[in-house]
């Protein structure tokens, strides 16, 4: 039979990039391609201990359905962390717990995107968000980045140009961006908030990495600068606990939060109670703060190793940034070099990265760029992998 698929999936296919990425998963390849935390640093003893504790303390609740909004004590814990660490004046009521931040993106898509709407995105931008927006049949207006982050004057041009189109929100990863590692400067953030106010724009601030700062000065979150209830903040424990938990959240103004909850109810009823209780205790008992300290030292050293090796072995014609945190850095090859071609050569040398074009919404852009992850591979592998790459350049 020919199933009567919805339009949103008829043209959908496994992206070229995901096919390429399958090649990076062979065990003998040094991979700078994925966005994985270093599993050697997973707090597995803590998970083991805590999961036993929460089951023994209250198995009736940890194994039962929970409310759609999420476990209240976890919501309070998340609000507290946002207040203390990110200076966000957020109450537990504004928080909805999600199955990873990716689900928060899915709920945002459901609540805001009509077919044909123009979503404002960064170019390059986070692939998982772009996939979600595409699934909801959005069009895109891409805003370029420079070393200060989102080029806000380009955003303003776009808002003028798309004055009459429905443009549901701007999606941004302002700190240690995926894929570029770039952090939006304070000036740009201020300008962005002004523009948002002038054009009545909703901002979706996705912030998975800000706890992972290795150098430089903290920059305030957009959420902390929001006095008009226009920022929907997305958070995750994937990088500061473990991705296999699938624990994320959104913090949103009351009206939006309510819509997100109604959408989540029809999406998966609730996030796993066992995962929520374990995550709560992990935060409350101070394990998260210790874990962040541990992985910051680990990833800082890896970043430095990668940059040092690149400084030593890469030709001067190749540009790259020096991110102050997160998990990624961004390469720019001389014009005319296609990083997809380079990727295939690299795979033969048993080293992998992600060709930058994957992160652009417009075909043909970013052909001479690449994303490198420095959190997953060991330091030895980083040195060896970068040397191998350098032989291709």
Is the CB of 163 or the CB of 348 nearer to a copy of itself?
163
Residue selected from 17, 21, 36, 393 as contacting a copy of itself according to rule CB under 8 A: 36
CA distance 284 to 58: 16
> Do 355 and 16 contact (CB within 8 A), yes or no?
no
**Binding status of residue 103 toward a copy of itself by CB under 8 A:** yes
Residue selected from 19, 39, 190, 215 as contacting a copy of itself according to rule CB under 8 A: 39
CA distance 146 to 382: 26
Task: For the segment 164-223, give every residue that binds a copy of itself (CB under 8 A).
Answer: 166-169, 200, 202
CA distance 348 to 343: 9
Find the part of the chain contacting a copy of itself (CB under 8 A) among 54-62, 173-181, 217-225, 314-322: 54-62
Is the CB of 51 or the CB of 148 nearer to a copy of itself?
51
CA distance 160 to 205: 22
> Do 380 and 305 contact (CB within 8 A), yes or no?
no
Question: What DSSP line would sit under 244-262, residue for residue?
Answer: GG--EEEE--HHHHHHHHH
Residue selected from 31, 132, 309, 375 as contacting a copy of itself according to rule CB under 8 A: 132
**Binding string, residues 269-308; x marks residues near a copy of itself by CB under 8 A:** xxxxxxx---------------------------------
Residue selected from 123, 134, 281, 371 as contacting a copy of itself according to rule CB under 8 A: 134
Residue 252 CB coordination number (10 Å): 28
How many residues are given for the chain? Answer: 393
The DSSP secondary-structure symbol of 333 reads: P
The DSSP secondary-structure symbol of 332 reads: E
Is the CB of 58 or the CB of 391 nearer to a copy of itself?
58
**Binding status of residue 6 toward a copy of itself by CB under 8 A:** yes
CA distance 88 to 79: 8
Find the part of the chain contacting a copy of itself (CB under 8 A) among 107-115, 149-157, 177-185, 316-324: 107-115
CA distance 336 to 344: 16
Is the CB of 14 or the CB of 286 nearer to a copy of itself?
14
Find the part of the chain contacting a copy of itself (CB under 8 A) among 3-11, 326-334, 363-371, 384-392: 3-11
- Tokens at residue 275, please? 């995962």
Is the CB of 33 or the CB of 274 nearer to a copy of itself?
274
Torsion of CA 211, 212, 216, 221, to 10 degrees: -30
Shortest Å distance, C-beta 97 to a copy of itself: 12
**Binding string, residues 232-271; x marks residues near a copy of itself by CB under 8 A:** ------x---xxxxx--------xx-xx--xx-xxxxxxx
**Binding status of residue 13 toward a copy of itself by CB under 8 A:** yes
**Beta-ladder partners of 302:** none
**Binding status of residue 96 toward a copy of itself by CB under 8 A:** no
**Binding status of residue 114 toward a copy of itself by CB under 8 A:** yes
Shortest Å distance, C-beta 106 to a copy of itself: 5
Q: Report which of 320, 302, 300 is spatially closest to residue 390, judged by C-alpha positions.
A: 320
**Binding status of residue 3 toward a copy of itself by CB under 8 A:** yes
Applying CB under 8 A, the site for a copy of itself has a residue count of 83
**Binding status of residue 158 toward a copy of itself by CB under 8 A:** no
Find the part of the chain contacting a copy of itself (CB under 8 A) among 99-107, 155-163, 309-317, 354-362: 99-107
- Tokens at residue 393, please? 């350049």
CA distance 271 to 65: 9
Rg over alpha carbons for the chain, rounded to the nearest Å, is 21
Q: Report which of 32, 17, 22 is spatially closest to residue 320, judged by C-alpha positions.
A: 32
Shortest Å distance, C-beta 293 to a copy of itself: 18
Residue selected from 21, 23, 42, 388 as contacting a copy of itself according to rule CB under 8 A: 42
């Amino acid at each position: 039979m020919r199933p009567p698929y919805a339009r949103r999936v008829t043209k959908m296919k496994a992206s070229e990039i995901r096919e390429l990425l399958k090649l990076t998963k062979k065990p003998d390849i040094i991979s700078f391609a994925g966005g994985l935390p270093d599993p050697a640093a997973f707090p597995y003893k803590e998970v083991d201990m805590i999961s036993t504790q929460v089951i023994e303390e209250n198995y009736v609740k940890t194994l039962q359905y929970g409310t759609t909004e999420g476990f209240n004590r976890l919501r309070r814990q998340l609000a507290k962390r946002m207040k203390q660490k990110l200076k966000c004046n957020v109450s537990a009521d504004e928080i909805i717990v999600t199955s990873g931040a990716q689900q928060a993106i899915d709920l945002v898509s459901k609540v805001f995107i009509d077919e044909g709407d123009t979503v404002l995105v960064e170019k390059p931008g986070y692939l998982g968000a772009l996939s979600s927006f595409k699934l909801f049949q959005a069009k895109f207006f891409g805003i370029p980045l420079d070393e200060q982050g989102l080029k806000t004057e380009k955003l303003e041009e776009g808002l003028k140009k798309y004055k009459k189109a429905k443009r549901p929100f701007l999606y941004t990863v302002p700190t240690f961006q995926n894929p570029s590692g770039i952090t939006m400067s304070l000036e740009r953030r201020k300008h962005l908030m002004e523009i948002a106010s002038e054009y009545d724009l909703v901002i979706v601030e996705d912030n998975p990495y800000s706890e992972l700062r290795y150098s430089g000065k903290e920059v305030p979150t957009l959420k902390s600068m929001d006095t008009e209830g226009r920022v929907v903040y997305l958070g995750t424990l994937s990088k500061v606990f473990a991705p296999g938990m699938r624990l994320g959240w959104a913090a949103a103004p009351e009206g939006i939060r309510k819509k997100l909850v109604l959408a989540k109810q029809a999406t998966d009823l609730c996030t796993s109670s066992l995962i929520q209780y374990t995550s709560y205790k992990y935060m409350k008992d101070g394990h998260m703060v210790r874990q962040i300290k541990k992985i910051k030292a680990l990833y800082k050293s890896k970043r430095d190793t990668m940059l040092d090796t690149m400084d030593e072995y890469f030709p001067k014609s190749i540009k790259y940034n020096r991110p102050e945190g997160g998990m990624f850095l961004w390469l720019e090859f001389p014009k005319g070099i296609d990083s997809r071609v380079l990727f295939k050569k690299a795979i033969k040398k048993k080293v992998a990265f992600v060709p930058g074009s994957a992160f652009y919404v417009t075909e043909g852009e970013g052909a001479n760029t690449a994303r490198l992850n420095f959190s997953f591979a060991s330091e030895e592998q980083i040195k060896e992998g970068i040397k191998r790459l350098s032989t291709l350049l």
